[in-house]
Amino acid sequence: MNIKLAGSPVREQWFYHPEQRTIYVWPPDLTYQSLSYLVVILAHELGHAMDFDSHPGHVAVIRNRHWSRTPLFIEQAAFVNGFCLLKQLQIPCSLDQYAAMIEPPMAERVVNEIENNHLCCLLSSPRRALSTPS
């Protein structure tokens, strides 16, 4: 994906800058937040990268906006893409676990989109992250 990581200049915020192809990370989170939180937030930011790559027009939508004014449909797409990425990478995270890390109004929208677009088939074959030799 050719994405860089850098320390966030915004207190307690993670965000993706599409023109710089950089995910800005709030460094204290790496020490104090749970692994589940880190997996979900990184998946979400990578989901933004996937969305902006697939929909270049979305970059124009956010270009002159403050990061906190990103439209809900772009945030939702990032969460959906992030969940799909976790499934593609076979990272064991259920939709319920993923949604639990998202604030309620958005969590419901993300779950509905995944379920209504038959993305739930990604959930039908749980795979173990590590396999033991037989």
In this prediction, residue 121 carries a pLDDT of: 53
Identify the CA nearest to 83 among candidates 116, 52, 113, 53: 113
Q: What is the pLDDT along the chain (134 residues), one digit of tens a residue?
A: 899 999 999 999 999 999 999 999 999 999 999 999 999 999 999 999 999 999 999 999 999 898 889 999 999 999 999 999 999 998 999 999 999 999 999 999 999 999 988 665 555 555 444 333 44
Count of residues in the chain: 134
In this prediction, residue 67 carries a pLDDT of: 84
Determine the Cα angle at 52 with ends 51 and 56, to 5°: 125
How far lies 81's CA from each of 78, 88, 118, 134, in Å?
A: 5, 10, 14, 34
The single-letter code of the amino acid at 9 is P
Residue 51, judged by CB atoms within 10 A of its CB (0-12, 13-18, 19+), counts as buried
